[in-house]
Structure 1
Amino acid sequence: MAESAAKRLKTTGVTIGTHNGHFHADEALAVYMLRLLPTYAGSSLVRTRDPALLQTCHTVVDVGGEYDASANRYDHHQRTFSTTFPGRPTKLSSAGLVYMHFGKAIIAQQLSKPEDSEDVGLLWNKIYESFVEALDAHDNGISAYDPKGIAAASLEKRFSEGGFNLGAMVGRLNPNWNDPVPSDPKEAQAAEDEKFLTASQRIGEEFSRDLEYYSRAWLPARDIVKAAYEKRTEYDPEGRIMVLEGQSVPWKDHMYNLEEADGTGKKVLYVLYAEKPVPDAKWRIQAVPVTMDSFESRKALPEAWRGARDDKLDEITGIPGGVFVHAAGFIGGNKTFEGAKAMAVKALDI
């Protein structure tokens, strides 16, 4: 999809259209993503709800009541719209639509690889799930958790999260209700458009940081984690200890995917890695979370070890070189690899 879209757009001096008035994260990101591509790099922007003006635009996002990729129309507000990203359940917003069609071209440009390469496809899915999908859900009023399930369980939030999410970050850049507005309509629209461009750049920076991280850090870590996963039975016959050689890398996503693909049902409980890539580095032992974002561990380090440090920890564990074990039991440290390995092996049976 992205490849054909990128090839189809060969014009220069194109205009992107979106709606004026209160702006949202989805169209702010949609405009930013388009402008990452050569076709749209020098594009102009028209913010209006006037159908006649929108008709003159090369590409229209989040307004117009039409989704037709062949005509470069990417709205999601029509009653009949129900499109989702491949393999995901969330209805798309204009951000998701633009990403679905142009995301591979953006990623391929970042990686200097063909759009149909495995790495581009992997990142296309990953960045949607990690970044874009939340905007789609926010704009379409879809909760991360089933409201009925939350009500049935009588769950209540323990504290306010400050209303800060990707959508709110853009929303607070809109003009306040009582801000002065120029009396001249053209000046007023220009002032509003300037705020929109600020919002588009702001959320776009976050998107680009995600793209940078996943392409330059997360993706190269995959082979390292795979090698460690394949060697895990060297440290425990059941493969419950995984050792990252050299230094720590982003491992959670890759390890969960490897476990799922493995299909044996056996789970890694502890991951060992050096604090720094130097010969005399201290080593960490980390309990694997139940899920990617969970604070609960599959098997936390033993209760008796938690909160202990240095000599006191050595005394409790019977293993020399202890540095600490966190009070919550999700991570600990030892001065040497052998010490960290011994802690992991002992913790398995406690």
Structure 2
Amino acid sequence: MLRTLVRKMAENAPKRLKTSDEVVIGTHNGHFHADEALAVHMLRTHVPAYQSARLVRTRDPAVLAECHTVVDVGGEYDPARHRYDHHQRGFTTTFPGRPTKLSSAGLVYLHFGREIVARKLGAEDRESEAVGLVWAKLYESFVEALDAHDNGIGVYDPAGLSAAGLEKRFSDGGFTLGAVVGRLNPNWNDPVPEDPAEAQAAEDARFEQASRRIGEEFDRDLDYYTRAWLPAREVVAEAYNERKQYDEQGRIVVLKRQSAPWKDHLYSLEDQAGPEAAKVLYVLYPEKPVPDAKWRIQCVPVAKDSFESRKPLPAEWRGFRDEELDAISGVPGSVFVHASGFIGGNKTFDGVLAMAKKALEA
């Protein structure tokens, strides 16, 4: 009886689409990918007009034509008609300021991302600076990777890697954002229901799971960038403006109250200051927001995701702790310096500042 019901629902889908006023999102059936899984999640979870939307997975042009919105199928990119496909010949659309060709995820985010961010921030103006900052950052940190994956664009240029003779040192298990969704597709040898409607229903259930899974990751980033990353900008800007209190060239930044996500904002502030301004080498911050907290000194990396520091802590300090480090560094209250020299600690602010000033001279 269940098989018959599912079959009738599939057979009657075009009729329902013609007569119903409900909002229907269409995407393709078959093997699914992260881009359409995220596109569907963003619409149904974060855009009020789609929160009760029904999903249809098909490649039938007649069925897709009756859908309110179509993503990742149909060969059309026409936002006025809510068509968001990227597979057609000649498609070259990218996100503002980024080089990566968009997938269906990027297209939906391009047109609805500001609304999503503004709603999360409780901002009335979708064109505000704060909304724009998070909109761009969330694309670069999350959505762009899915666009690249779906369009077959690697993180590094293959020719450049080959010319440099670079090879991976170890396997990362292929665990990327795309793989989060890809692994939820059925295996090649999994049993498939003989009834076509039942088989499609099983496939659709897997897609719904995939959409929720990639959506959870997107929502975590959306929450982080609106609730933690954006408020940190003001904290870092204040510290950057006061940097010459600690070094006349401005190479030391002090986050007085507690640590905050500082790298993105620091690089942005340095860019605004221009090439004539000295680069920050060390960032100091308390381990906890309490009066007697220990302090950390962290070296600024050459790039956000780099393990190479602009100026590591002195080699002779690295790997030592406590009194032994006190004797080597000449700074009382030393706690540790990491073996790679990218971070260290002291019991007091005066002590960690002394470490920074000595490291500048090393």
- The two structures have a TM-score, normalised by structure 2, of 0.93
User: 2:293 aligned with 1:293, yes or no?
Assistant: no
Alignment of 1:17-166 (within 5 A): 17-35=26-44, 36-113=46-123, 114-166=125-177
Take 2:266 and 2:216, find their aligned partners in 1: how far apart are those partners?
28
Give the SS at the match of 1:273.
strand
Take 2:315 and 2:126, find their aligned partners in 1: how far apart are those partners?
50
Match for residue 327 of structure 1 among 320, 336, 339: 339
Q: Could you tell me how far 1:30 is from its partner in structure 2?
A: 0.2
Stretches of 4+ moved more than 4 A in 1? none
> Residues 246-284 of structure 1, C-alpha deviation per residue, up to 9 Å, x if partnerless?
000000000000000000241000000000000000000
Give the SS at the match of 2:284.
strand
Q: Which runs of 5+ in 2 are unaligned?
A: 1-19
> Residues 205-256 of structure 1, C-alpha deviation per residue, up to 9 Å, x if partnerless?
0000000000000000000000000000000001000000100000000000
Take 1:193 and 1:265, find their aligned partners in 2: how far apart are those partners?
56
Match for residue 219 of structure 2 among 208, 226, 229: 208
The residue aligned with 2:4 is none
**11-20 vs 192-201, greater mean Cα deviation:** 11-20
Q: How many percent identity over aligned positions?
A: 71
Q: Could you tell me how far 1:12 is from its partner in structure 2?
A: 6.4
Q: Is the 8 A contact 1:288 1:297 kept in 2?
A: yes
Q: Is the 8 A contact 1:322 1:333 kept in 2?
A: yes
Take 1:291 and 1:285, find their aligned partners in 2: how far apart are those partners?
17
Q: Could you tell me how far 1:13 is from its partner in structure 2?
A: 2.4
Take 1:256 and 1:242, find their aligned partners in 2: how far apart are those partners?
12
Q: Is the 8 A contact 1:12 1:39 kept in 2?
A: no
Q: What is the number of residues matched between the two proteins?
A: 340
Q: Which runs of 5+ in 1 are unaligned?
A: 1-10
**67-76 vs 260-269, greater mean Cα deviation:** 260-269
Take 2:216 and 2:92, find their aligned partners in 1: how far apart are those partners?
29
Take 2:159 and 2:21, find their aligned partners in 1: how far apart are those partners?
50
Match for residue 281 of structure 2 among 269, 281, 289: 269
Q: Could you tell me how far 1:303 is from its partner in structure 2?
A: 0.2
Take 1:276 and 1:334, find their aligned partners in 2: how far apart are those partners?
13
What is the alpha-carbon root mean square deviation over aligned residues? Answer: 0.9
Match for residue 202 of structure 2 among 160, 169, 191: 191
Take 1:165 and 1:107, find their aligned partners in 2: how far apart are those partners?
24
> Residues 86-107 of structure 1, C-alpha deviation per residue, up to 9 Å, x if partnerless?
1110000000000000000111
